[in-house]
Structure 1
Amino acid sequence: MELTNIPYLASSSSSSFFSSYCSSTCRGRRAGKLLLTASAAGGRSAADLAHSQLFEQENEGALSGPRSSWHYKRREFTSAILLPFLLPHADIASAAEAYDGSIIRSGVRNVLTKAKAAGVLRLVFHDAGTFDVSDKSGGMNGSIIYEVDRPENTGLNRSIKILGKAKAGIDDIQKVSWADLIAVAGAEAVALCGGPEIPVRLGRLDSSTADPAGKLPEETLDAAALKLAFSTKGFSTQEMVVLSGAHTIGGKGFGSPIIFDNSYFKVLLEGKPQTSSSGMEAKAMVGLRTDWALTEDDECLRWIRIYAEDQARFFDDFRDTYIKLVDSGVTWRTA
């Protein structure tokens, strides 16, 4: 028996592959022998021997009439049984569900602009920010699509609609989870605005329900409360400060709203937000209360100064911490 090429499995449906296999590989008789096209990485194996025994040579007389049809079908059936032994060793489930990350990135770039980057990056924080290290609940799981009505998520429906357009196009080619899509979109938003390139691992599964409410840090917290809130999510003070640097883009007033740089830290070192004549803090002209709270803590202030002086260090640390953020609480696909 002759073994040559079988194309590598490209479909997730074993039944459709079986059909194409039988139609393309069972070639009928040739000099009284059945020729199979199959991938073989070397010499004759136990599977070859089994085929030789099962597909005994038939003469021309035996291959005629109804008996010929019966023999042919028997051979097709036996081929299907032995197919797993003929194929080279491979994780078929993984091959069938493999992602092409470039398709996801391209789909995101088609809908993303610098003006929309801050909203998309905020979407990442609000999806992943529900993670609780104590019980492993929440995290980067796409549940944000069920949570847009919460006060802390006001305005995020716009970013979800933007990414929804990308998802529709991507899904026509390969299915993508909301969690993967949002994680990739945040990285693309950073890069689009001049920040570091961030690799994103793919394979997140989506939640089918909303995460528990009240898991995001409130905007009125002081530095001590912020540090505690981030520690419950598995982040150190340094990681909290570097993630806060994402406020360098958007409408919070730290440098250019469409340039990802270390202006956030430089502005924090320049002074406090404006206050009213009564001494009560008015709405900050720049940033949030939590941004300025960082300058009131010695440990946070040390990292603010480091990043204000060294943008390359900020970029490197932001990249690493972003990866940790979008991997928090993830349920990964398995083969």
Structure 2
Amino acid sequence: MELANVPNLASSSSFFFSSCTCRVLCYRGRRTGTGAITVFAAGSRCSADSACSELIEQQNVDPLSVASSPANTHRYRRRDFAAVALLPFLLPNVDMASAAELYDGSIIQNGVRNVLTKVKAAGVLRLVFHDAGTFDVGDKSGGMNGSIIYEVDRPENTGLSKPLKILRKAKEGIDQVQQVSWADLIAVAGAEAVALCGGPEIPVRLGRLDSRTADPAGKLPEETLDIVALKTSFSKKGFSVQEMVVLSGAHTIGGKGFGNPNGFDNTYFKILLEKPQPTSSGMPIGLPTDWALTKDDECLRWINIYAEDQDKFFADFRDAYTKLVNSGASWRTA
């Protein structure tokens, strides 16, 4: 880790997107000997992506980049998190609040990495879908707002108490250095789960506010929906058919039978093409909604595309995931 000319930071707002060309502070942080964590300058404006256009604030804390190392360098070292936490005490001119501004993104990321494993990845990713999946374009209700912490007792959320417990442990450690909303934490954790299992690196914008109440019930797509009802459900959430198909590819990890349960790849789409829908007499693979996709020509076209081109799947999943975790979110404003 290197520090150079770290300024005393004033409370201000900034915005984040990994591909932007904002003016950069002179800090670069090295983690596990690879790559650099870039901290965007407070108040600078970026034109690289529309996601950068809105200023956001997090209790006088700049939402920073959640930088990611290449997939093959994922080594979750507790000492990285400890080193970041200790920096305020090592630098006399930087108080705790300023240090939190400087290390916001990496603190969340490393806090998640301390508790996440490949075996736990599918549950954490499912948590993202069930928190964000309540969004309704019509009345602007639901979405990525952390309300899942009030909804774990609902039948559709059975089993989510375990990944929530995992992230609660991470949150306790992160909050000792700086406060993080449940919505931001879950969004970052899902991206980390995908990358840990070999999937694409997904930058996550920070600054979401948490809901203080549960979202309306009955907003998640049911597992028994036919293709017409499934397309209608996703359309009400603002997602196209292509986005519905690519997000369904998240079922490639976990215990649904689509290849390696700990590997994020395009096996999901290959199996949909190669294997018939399982019957009650055999081991079930996937959910009825997975197989419903194969009964629609438009969905089937995208299934073929992703089965043949994993890079295309990764790129489109990255975009759809970003849209998912931003859907319905309330953002801190300057």
TM-score normalised according to structure 1 size: 0.71
Paired residue total:
248
Question: C-alpha deviations, 1:52-101, integer Å up to 9, x for none?
Answer: xxxxxxxxxxxxxxxxxxxxxxxxxxxxxxxxxxxxx999x779322310
Q: Which has the higher helix share?
A: 1
Letter in 2 for 1:270: E
**1:197 is aligned to 2:161:** no
TM-aligned CA distance change 1:313 to 1:136, over 3 Å = same
Shift of 1:10: 5.2
Q: Report the secondary structure of 2:299's partner residue.
A: helix
Q: Tell which structure's C-alpha radius of gyration is larger.
A: 1
Partner Cα distance (1:222, 1:193) in 2: 30
Asked if 2 retains the 8 angstrom alpha-carbon contact of 1:261 and 1:311, the reply is yes
Q: Which residue of 2 aligns with 1:217?
A: 221
Partner Cα distance (1:283, 1:98) in 2: 53
Q: Which residue of 2 aligns with 1:333?
A: 332
Shift of 1:8: 3.3
Partner Cα distance (2:158, 2:193) in 1: 20
Partner Cα distance (2:178, 2:166) in 1: 18
Asked if 1 retains the 8 angstrom alpha-carbon contact of 2:58 and 2:207, the reply is no
Partner Cα distance (2:155, 2:59) in 1: 42
Q: Which residue of 1 aligns with 2:275?
A: 271
Unmatched 5+ stretches in structure 1: 1-6, 13-88, 277-281
Q: Which residue of 1 aligns with 2:243?
A: 239
Shift of 1:11: 6.7
Asked if 2 retains the 8 angstrom alpha-carbon contact of 1:273 and 1:284, the reply is no
Asked if 1 retains the 8 angstrom alpha-carbon contact of 2:58 and 2:332, the reply is no
Shift of 1:274: 2.7
Partner Cα distance (1:236, 1:284) in 2: 31
Q: Which residue of 2 aligns with 1:168?
A: 172
**Runs of 4+ residues over 4 Å off in structure 1:** 9-12
Q: Report the secondary structure of 2:114's partner residue.
A: helix
**1:141 is aligned to 2:105:** no
Partner Cα distance (1:95, 1:233) in 2: 29
Shift of 1:270: 1.1
Shift of 1:275: 2.1
Question: C-alpha deviations, 1:254-308, integer Å up to 9, x for none?
Answer: 01000000000000001223324xxxxx686210000001000111000000000
Partner Cα distance (1:158, 1:186) in 2: 14
Q: Which residue of 2 aligns with 1:315?
A: 314
Partner Cα distance (1:175, 1:156) in 2: 23
Letter in 2 for 1:8: N
Asked if 2 retains the 8 angstrom alpha-carbon contact of 1:9 and 1:96, the reply is no
Shift of 1:218: 0.3
Shift of 1:158: 0.2
TM-aligned CA distance change 1:296 to 1:284, over 3 Å = farther
Question: C-alpha deviations, 1:151-172, integer Å up to 9, x for none?
Answer: 0000000000000000000000
Spell out the pairing of 1:1-335 with structure 2 (5 A cutoff).
Answer: 8-9=8-9, 96-99=60-63, 100-276=104-280, 285-335=284-334
TM-aligned CA distance change 1:95 to 1:163, over 3 Å = closer
Partner Cα distance (1:135, 1:318) in 2: 26
Q: Which residue of 1 aligns with 2:22?
A: none
Partner Cα distance (1:192, 1:111) in 2: 12
Unmatched 5+ stretches in structure 2: 1-6, 13-42, 45-54, 64-103
Partner Cα distance (1:121, 1:291) in 2: 17
Asked if 2 retains the 8 angstrom alpha-carbon contact of 1:9 and 1:95, the reply is no
Letter in 2 for 1:307: Y
Letter in 1 for 2:8: Y
TM-aligned CA distance change 1:307 to 1:181, over 3 Å = same
Question: C-alpha deviations, 1:29-64, integer Å up to 9, x for none?
Answer: xxxxxxxxxxxxxxxxxxxxxxxxxxxxxxxxxxxx
Letter in 2 for 1:310: D
Partner Cα distance (1:259, 1:96) in 2: 38
Shift of 1:135: 1.1
Partner Cα distance (1:283, 1:218) in 2: 22
Identity %: 77
TM-score normalised according to structure 2 size: 0.71
Partner Cα distance (1:94, 1:295) in 2: 43
Asked if 2 retains the 8 angstrom alpha-carbon contact of 1:247 and 1:254, the reply is yes
Asked if 2 retains the 8 angstrom alpha-carbon contact of 1:124 and 1:182, the reply is yes
